[in-house]
Amino acid sequence: MVVPYEGQSFSALRRQCQQNGCLFEDPLFPASDQSLFYQSNNIGRVTWKRPKELCSNPHLFVDGISAHDLYQGQLGNCWFVAACSSLASIEALWQKVIPDWKDQEWDEKNPESYAGIFHFRFWQFGKWVDIVIDDRLPTANGELVYCHSNDSNEFWSALVEKAYAKLYGCYEALDGGNTSDALVDFTGGVSEQMDLTEDGYKEDEDKRNELFERVLKVHNRGGLISCSIKATSAAEMEAKLACGLVKGHAYAVTDVRRVRLGHGLLAYFRSDKLTMIRLRNPWGEREWSGPWSDSSDEWNKVSKSEREKIGVTVQDDGEFWMNFDDFIANFTDLILCRLINTSYLSLHKTWEESVMLGSWHRHDDPLLNRTGGCTNNKHSFLQNPQYVIDVKKPEDEVLICLQQKDRRATLRGGRGENLAIGFDIHRVELNRIYRMHITQQKVGGSTYINSRSVFVRIDLKEGRYVIIPTTFDPGLEGDFLLRIFTDVPSDCKELTLDEPPHTCWSGLCGYPSLVTQVHVLQADGLAGQDSGGVSDPYVIIRCEGKKVRSPVHNNMCSPVFDTKGLFYRNNANQPISIEIYNHNLVADSFLGQVTLRADQGDFQQILHLRDKGNRRDNDLPGTVTVVMRTSSVLTNI
């Protein structure tokens, strides 16, 4: 879905300008200091000029689009320029950001069609937003102040930057930022930020090899990648190291591949290949000077045809190759922006996506409050929004991204700081449909950080889970977008009710007076049912006509079921049964059961299995470990 920014329609505005014979002047982003700064002018006298006032033959693109078209200007937005460099390398992506670019190009044969108006698209909070701009660009001494191309008559990079500045309020709002955010804005993808030092890649060769495969896969599937070297103080920002790299500076990754060593025909029969990565400095200069830099002797190990194939150039253009081990040794932060493939027609892995819009909002009633803060706030944590998902495979890789609304556009009003956000993942009862009121088994979660988004990739076993997005501190309000990607549909939905609702049937059928949680932990010593002396057991928990069934545990006599059920009970005298069966192709066989009395209260016990008559003299081989918790207050579980 594409929505126009502030209702501005590109086609309508251009047609109006063409009919009136005038050039478009954007009233929402005027050619004045308010579009440049949110604080004060720190550049000096700025003159706004259209491309035709800067050169005689302007174009969006000159000889196509490439990462070499971008040079950072007088603005600390290397994060944005690095993301643009990555964007320029993938045609399918930049054509989304620069829609119908051929129609937007200057037409020398029909100059009357020129209306001084352009439009670009960025992904914002779940939808693509179409941004209209005029082509008046800020200059000083006849030169573009901000992002520009190496070709003086190429303007796509300057115009994209202006549209992005309009989206966030002004150019100064782009001074300092996170490449991860720009990559998501350009693609609608999901960014994973990795700390190469803390995650142990520098010391562990196996982890480095695994990471290279992951980086290569993201690159080959059209994702965008960026990296940087952490600066620990203001003095280190933009500081050049002896190896040529710059601290606190965002680099774009423009290629990832295995490079064949050797010359001639023999090179094709050699199994050893170097793992290599190509990067670009948005400044268009200052390159890596170590092994495999542009003019290093290492390139003599690679044939001329191989060098030409991968585009090795010996010039200070800001682009350079590194061995992946050297890359890991020198860089500290890596951003992988995955394009999540949801097309069933693709040859690559496809994902099922769930998108939930939510908010943290205050309320005096604790049951309606949704600003509980992180788990440090034990009394209020579970007042946050809660979302339930089902993992339907024995194990599934799950991607979870929590994004808050970007506050960069509110810098002028002094409200530009992001909230510190994160989320927890709890494994819950297989039949839970009401909100949690006591914490359960936490199986994962994110760190808390005041970035626009947080991301977790986690393997989850089959079962039901509740994701709880929170701010770090309680009482803070804001909107968020929760995106969940699984291999099969997760049936994600928000848990909004605290307990079963009162209906007209409650008076006839009775309203639940008790809620009981039954947790079957494991069974031991089950009778073997096949030639190998093992079983394929599963457990069923039954209560008042309702049941919960676990997955089948293949080839086990002592399965760890770890299965929970939650039952809202009308009749406190009705027992709860736990039955264990062996799964067969034709008919499942009964392995035993235990019956829990209603008056047993809270307990954890190891119980002997019995036959369906449940007589004490008919004990079957095996035991089952059960935990039961019962509450007369329905919101206590």
* Catalytic sites, residue numbers: 78, 249, 281
Closest CA to 94 of 126, 60, 52, 43: 60
Token code pair at residue 487: 């291999």
Residue with tokens 């082509």: 135
Residue with tokens 């006599």: 557
Q: In whole angstroms, give the CA distance from residue 312 to residue 321.
A: 8
Token code pair at residue 392: 């339907």
Q: In whole angstroms, give the CA distance from residue 384 to residue 527.
A: 45
CA dihedral sign of residues 78, 81, 85, 86: positive
The total of other beta-carbon atoms located within 10 Å of residue 90's CB is: 17
Closest CA to 339 of 353, 358, 324, 355: 353
Angle in degrees, 0-180, between the axes of helices 78-88 and 156-167, rounded to the nearest 10: 130
- SS3 at position 353: strand
Polymer length in residues for the chain? 637
List 449's β-bridge partners, or say none: 421
Measured CA distances, 271 to 292, 368, 540, 560 (Å): 20, 63, 54, 45
Token code pair at residue 8: 């501005």
Q: In whole angstroms, give the CA distance from residue 112 to residue 493.
A: 53
Q: In whole angstroms, give the CA distance from residue 15 to residue 21.
A: 10
Measured CA distances, 469 to 66, 155, 259, 366, 438 (Å): 39, 41, 43, 17, 16
DSSP classification of residue 535: B
Per-residue b or e along 330-347, where b marks 16 or more CB atoms closer than 10 Å to that residue's CB? bbbbbbbbbbbbeeeeee
Q: In whole angstroms, give the CA distance from residue 312 to residue 306.
A: 9
DSSP E strand stretches across 496-635: 514-524, 537-543, 546-549, 563-569, 576-582, 589-596, 603-610, 619-631
Token code pair at residue 534: 């093992």
Contact between 453 and 191 (Cβ < 8 Å): yes
Token code pair at residue 41: 């002018």
Q: In whole angstroms, give the CA distance from residue 609 to residue 523.
A: 9
Closest CA to 60 of 96, 21, 90, 103: 103
Contact between 479 and 359 (Cβ < 8 Å): yes
